């Protein structure tokens, strides 16, 4: 049986806080494995990339991978990585890449530069374009992209991700409204009084009617603290400090 030619993916990373902002460019031969690694950065890694990835995790966010191109050699992948990083930096992108690409080389030797240059020129030939089109239609669409989509979907629906999302929602500060700076408070205009409310297990619960927004906010705090402890936003955290 004919051995299937190995392909390389040139990809970009962004996060759920701003999916339009590309923060990293990389290359890999296994996109599904690589996105899993990015979503679990090692604590010992002190690179800018790892610090950014950990900040996304702490914020309860999600890292997203987009495939920029697929090539059939590591040299061509390095050449495209260098080109894409340079293009994004020129456009003002805030990349966390520690190098200019090309296998992590900040100052590649003349031999390496020549090899990358030849690989880059090779990607512009009609023959290469035809091979690339065949690889992308045969492998990326049906195999690599399917695996990548499943990996991303699994990451979104994992128990850990769901817990992070719930905590992030509970920690979210109140929206600006007629209740002022308090969460779980609403104004009853007809009476001029204030209602307290909280959503528990998907059910909106009424906490009572109060003469001031502060009183309603404290009722919310007590209910929230009883349900979630310190893993939630509190209007008056000092009142419930241990």
Mean pLDDT in the chain?
A: 77
Kindly list the domain boundaries of the chain, sorted by start residue.
8-165, 173-240
Higher-confidence residue: 34 or 118?
34
Q: Is the pLDDT of residue 39 over 50?
A: yes
CA angle 73, 126, 132 (to 5 degrees): 40
Check: CB of residue 54 under 8 Å from CB of residue 61. Answer: no
Model confidence band, residue 19 (pLDDT cutoffs 50, 70, 90): confident
Which range among 5-19, 34-48, 58-72, 114-128 shows the weakest confidence by mean pLDDT?
A: 114-128
Query: Measured between alpha carbons, how far is 149 from 201 in angstroms, rounded to an integer?
Result: 30
pTM (whole model) above 0.75: no
Options 1.10.540.10, 3.40.50.880, 3.40.50.1980, 3.30.730.10; CATH of 173-240? 3.30.730.10
End-to-end Cα separation, the chain, in angstroms: 68
- Enter the DSSP assignment of 138: I
Which range among 23-37, 66-80, 99-113, 160-174 shows the weakest confidence by mean pLDDT?
A: 99-113
What average pLDDT score do residues 132-150 get? 52
Q: Is the pLDDT of residue 53 over 90?
A: yes
What pLDDT digit, counting tens, does each position of 167-209 carry? 778 888 776 565 678 888 888 777 888 888 888 877 888 888 8
Model confidence band, residue 154 (pLDDT cutoffs 50, 70, 90): low
Q: Is the pLDDT of residue 111 over 70?
A: no
What average pLDDT score do residues 23-37 get? 89
Higher-confidence residue: 227 or 155?
227
Query: Measured between alpha carbons, how far is 108 from 121 in angstroms, rounded to an integer?
Result: 18
Q: Beta strands of 79-152 (E only): which ranges?
A: none
Rg, C-alpha atoms of the chain:
25
Q: What is the percentage of the chain residues whose pLDDT exceeds 70? A: 69
Check: CB of residue 10 under 8 Å from CB of residue 70. Answer: yes
Query: Measured between alpha carbons, how far is 236 from 222 in angstroms, rounded to an integer?
Result: 10
């Amino acid at each position: 049986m004919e051995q299937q030619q190995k392909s390389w993916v040139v990809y970009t990373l962004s996060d759920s806080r701003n999916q339009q902002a590309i923060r990293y460019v990389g290359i890999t031969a296994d996109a599904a494995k690589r996105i899993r690694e990015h979503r679990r950065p090692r604590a010992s890694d002190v690179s800018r990339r790892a610090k950014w990835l950990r900040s996304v995790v702490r914020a309860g966010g999600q890292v997203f991978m987009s495939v920029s191109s697929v090539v059939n050699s590591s040299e061509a992948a390095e050449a495209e990585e260098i080109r894409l990083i340079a293009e994004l930096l020129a456009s003002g992108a805030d990349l966390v890449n520690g190098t200019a690409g090309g296998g992590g080389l900040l100052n590649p030797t003349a031999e390496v530069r020549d090899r990358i240059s030849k690989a880059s020129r090779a990607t512009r030939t009609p023959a290469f374009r035809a091979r690339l089109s065949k690889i992308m239609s045969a492998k990326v669409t049906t195999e690599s992209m399917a695996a990548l989509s499943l990996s991303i979907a699994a990451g979104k629906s994992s128990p850990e991700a769901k817990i992070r999302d719930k905590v992030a929602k509970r920690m979210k500060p109140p929206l600006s409204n007629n209740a002022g700076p308090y969460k779980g408070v609403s104004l009853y205009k007809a009476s001029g009084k204030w209602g307290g409310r909280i959503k528990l297990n998907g059910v909106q619960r009424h906490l009572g009617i109060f003469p001031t927004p502060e009183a309603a906010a404290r009722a919310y705090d007590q209910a929230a603290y009883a349900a979630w402890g310190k893993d939630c936003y509190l209007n008056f955290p000092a009142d419930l400090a241990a």
